[in-house]
Amino acid sequence: MRWNDTLIPTLRDDPSDAETNSHRFMLRAGLIRQLAAGVYSYLPLGLRVLRNVERIIREEMDNAGAVEALLPSLHPAELWQRSGRWDAYGDELMRLKDRHGRPFALGATHEEAITSLVGDEVKSYKKLPLTLYQIQTKFRDERRPRYGLMRGREFIMKDAYSFDASAEGLDRSYKRMYDAYAAIFARCGLTFRAVEADSGSIGGTDTHEFMALSDVGEDTIVHCRGCGYAANMELAVSLGGEGSPSPAGAADSGEGAPPVVREIETPNVRTIAELTRFLGVESRRIVKSIALVADGRPVVALVRGDRELNETKLKRLLGADSLDMMTETDVAEKLGSVAGYIGPVGLPGNVAIAADEEIRGMPHAVVGAGAADRHRTGVRPERDFRVDVWGDIRSAAEGDRCTRCGEPLSFDKGIEIGHVFKLGTKYSDSMRATFLDDTGRSLPYVMGCYGIGVSRLVAAVVEQHCDDAGIVWPAELSPYRVHLIVIQKKDPVQAELAEKLYRDLRRSGVDVLFDDRDERAGAKFADADLIGLPIRVTVGKRAADGIVECRLRSEPDSFELEAGKLYDFVRNA
Ligand code: ATP
Ligand code: MG
């Protein structure tokens, strides 16, 4: 492709709104342009990368026995009402009406559409297992679209759905998809980790997220080098560092007598840090009380002062679908308490108290007293306040150890590029999608769903494969293989050699981008670095001797090569 014939609007300067490397380089290299918040056009170079990713995905999906289909983006509301998600999905679902006023949604995901299709068309166990996939645009009205393709409101997803006759069958389908995902991400050149993930309100069943390791990732992943345990922070379990967990009631600071509860003045002391300083106690001697509303019910969650409440774990422990922080007004009305000074002692009976296991062993604790500028000391769990439900509701933290092998855990940031999920019969039950087994019984399909953020994956690849000057494409994803530059287009010797190389390479099946612009050499080199094709070939002064200059984008140095040997070099590079 000749530069002059295509559209590669490179930018010299960083766009002011692009915070991450992938976002700014994809804009600067002319791969994408924004049309609205979280809505992007793919320009010719960007589209070529996307097509490469899609090709890899199709190959690996087909290898794994999945079959491609394409479902509509426009879904009648009735479809989503049947699964109950028309209401449950919330504001992320883009909704619209047709000319007759009938409600529709733009597909955010396709469990409903596929379950309805397969429910109508597959009636017998003989057609199972069946895995269908598609590569398609999804719409989600994200609260915070950001980082370019990383979190869009319109984005490209590969989604697959497996249908099996039994749970064992689902295990096999799941494993095949899991392995295919690992192969896809490896071929895309990603450093990634598969981690155990939260299965949300479906609960109980397997789910893994594939995370590309990156500092700009929104997820935190917990990993044990000792045994390989890896989980999303949302559900990662851990053993506390020193001093925890301690046996119930143990006196850990030498005092033998039971603690006495005292109410003390703590003027303007609200946060754990302020309390630690004011009282001179360690934060792990304090119990933090967090007021929330779970499915409309008031809840106070208790974690140690040096811990963070993990809302995903709490939701799971309570079996709640929704969890929100309580407003200050509700704190006053429902708890009879002052925000900033909430404590577990004497809470009204209708307030559920959920406590983290680490609190159980605290011999005495400092807690809020419910009134402004007051705390209580010497408080002992289950003597001085009730706990309705105990569980692990804290987030794992630096210094914690692995529950399986005791080794220290490490923490990394990750970008979720894929997600595999055992749905079980959630959708086939709610949508009454059944098949007949070999004895003629009608049974719901046992389903799995499997997603890859295709456009997000491209951003993750750029995030992992760039330097100060621009992108460094892994070979399989690069929009072209060779970046051909002619220094002096007006010099007939240079022009002729460059034209010949362009022709010959293309004839040999090599994808070439030929920068035939009347631009300064410096600008062409800068653009070549920015765009990041694996091999740069420059035709310059030594064209008369049949010599060109080559550089691999991943290497700092260039070298000279006889033009006649270029094809062999490109083939083997
Ligand atoms: P997230 O937690 O990032 O919002 P999700 O759990 O909503 O992701 P899924 O519904 O599992 O995502 O979608 C499958 C895949 O689609 C994700 O693993 C991710 O790679 C991608 N994806 C999800 N939302 C977006 C988005 N707004 N923009 C781009 N890719 C997305
Ligand atoms: Mg999401």
Contact 460, 466 (CB under 8 A): no
| pLDDT attached to residue 200 | 72
Exposed (0-12), middle (13-18) or buried (19+): which is 53, by Cβ within 10 Å? buried
Q: Which residues contact 353 (CB under 8 A, 6 or more apart)?
A: 299, 300, 302, 344, 347, 385, 386, 387, 388, 389
Domain extents for the chain? 22-190+422-463, 262-391, 482-572
Q: Is 400 in the pocket of ligand 1 (CB under 6 A)?
A: no
Q: What is the mean pLDDT of the chain?
A: 95
Q: 3-state DSSP call for residue 183?
A: helix
Residue with tokens 């949508």: 431
* Cα 382 from Cα 326, distance rounded (Å): 24
Burial 416-430 (b: 16+ CB within 10 A, else e): bbbbbbbbbbbbbeb
Chain centroid offset of residue 250 CA: 42
Best mutation site among 456, 458, 461, 462 for ligand 1, i.e. most ligand atoms within 8 A of its Cβ? 456
Taking 50 as the threshold, does the pLDDT of residue 251 lie above it? no
DSSP state of 248: T
Minimal-distance CA residue to ligand 1 atom 24: 151
Identify the helix (H) or strand (E) that includes residue 208: strand 207-213
Identify the helix (H) or strand (E) that includes residue 329: helix 328-335
Minimal-distance CA residue to ligand 1 atom 14: 451
Nearest CA to 12 among 519, 516, 555, 464? 519
- pLDDT, tens digit (0-9, with 9 covering 90-100), for 307-365: 999 999 999 999 998 999 999 999 999 999 999 999 999 999 999 999 999 999 899 99
Q: Which atom of ligand 1 is nearest to the CA of 152?
A: 28
The class of domain 482-572 in CATH terms is: alpha beta
Helix/strand/coil (H, E, C) string of 262-309?
EEEECCCCCCHHHHHHHHCCCHHHEEEEEEEEECCEEEEEEEECCCCE
Strands 262-265 and 374-379: antiparallel
Q: 3-state DSSP call for residue 169?
A: helix
- pLDDT, tens digit (0-9, with 9 covering 90-100), for 410-440: 999 999 999 999 999 999 999 999 999 999 9
Q: Which atom of ligand 1 is nearest to the CA of 418?
A: 18
- Residues facing 449 on adjacent strands: 161, 421
Count CB-CB contacts under 10 A for residue 66: 25
Strands 409-424 and 365-368: unpaired
Count CB-CB contacts under 10 A for residue 194: 17
Q: Is 417 in the pocket of ligand 1 (CB under 6 A)?
A: yes
Contact 69, 132 (CB under 8 A): yes
Count CB-CB contacts under 10 A for residue 172: 13
* Cα 244 from Cα 252, distance rounded (Å): 10
- Per-residue pLDDT, averaged over 24-28, amounts to 98
* Cα 368 from Cα 344, distance rounded (Å): 8
The backbone region for 414, taken as left when phi is positive above 0, alpha when psi lies in -120 to 50, beta otherwise, is beta
Q: Is 451 in the pocket of ligand 1 (CB under 6 A)?
A: yes
Nearest CA to 477 among 159, 253, 185? 185
- pLDDT, tens digit (0-9, with 9 covering 90-100), for 123-139: 999 999 999 999 999 99
- pLDDT, tens digit (0-9, with 9 covering 90-100), for 492-531: 999 999 999 999 999 999 999 999 999 999 999 999 999 9
Instruction: Name the percent of the chain lying above pLDDT 90.
Output: 94
- Per-residue pLDDT, averaged over 377-383, amounts to 96
Strands 130-139 and 67-68: parallel
- Per-residue pLDDT, averaged over 110-118, amounts to 97
Per-residue CA distances from 200 to 158, 169, 317, 320 (Å)? 21, 22, 11, 10
* Cα 456 from Cα 525, distance rounded (Å): 28
In the chain, the amino acid numbered 226 is G
Q: Is 285 in the pocket of ligand 1 (CB under 6 A)?
A: no
Q: Is 524 in the pocket of ligand 1 (CB under 6 A)?
A: no
Cα 139 to middle of ligand 1, angstroms: 11
Contact 311, 322 (CB under 8 A): no
Minimal-distance CA residue to ligand 1 atom 22: 453
**Is the Cα dihedral 28, 32, 34, 35 positive or negative?**
positive
* Cα 220 from Cα 232, distance rounded (Å): 6
Contact 552, 560 (CB under 8 A): no
Backbone angles phi, psi at 246, to 5 degrees: -110, 150
Assigned fold of 22-190+422-463: BirA Bifunctional Protein; domain 2 (3.30.930)
Cα 78 to middle of ligand 1, angstroms: 24
* Cα 297 from Cα 352, distance rounded (Å): 8
Contact 391, 43 (CB under 8 A): no
* Cα 261 from Cα 365, distance rounded (Å): 9
| pLDDT attached to residue 242 | 57
Contact 318, 299 (CB under 8 A): yes
Tokens of 560: 């000279």
| pLDDT attached to residue 108 | 97
Q: 3-state DSSP call for residue 458?
A: helix
| pLDDT attached to residue 257 | 79
Rg (CA), the chain: 29
| pLDDT attached to residue 206 | 87
| pLDDT attached to residue 204 | 52
* Cα 166 from Cα 173, distance rounded (Å): 11
DSSP state of 12: S
| pLDDT attached to residue 103 | 98
Ligand nearest to the CA of 141: 1
| pLDDT attached to residue 254 | 47
| pLDDT attached to residue 201 | 62
Q: Which of 148-162, 169-183, 189-203, 343-357 has the lowest mean pLDDT?
A: 189-203
Assigned fold of 262-391: YbaK protein (3.90.960)
Q: Which atom of ligand 1 is nearest to the CA of 451?
A: 14
- Per-residue pLDDT, averaged over 178-184, amounts to 98
Tokens of 496: 């002729």
Ligand nearest to the CA of 219: 1
Per-residue CA distances from 298 to 187, 275, 314, 552 (Å)? 49, 25, 13, 61
Cα 142 to middle of ligand 1, angstroms: 10
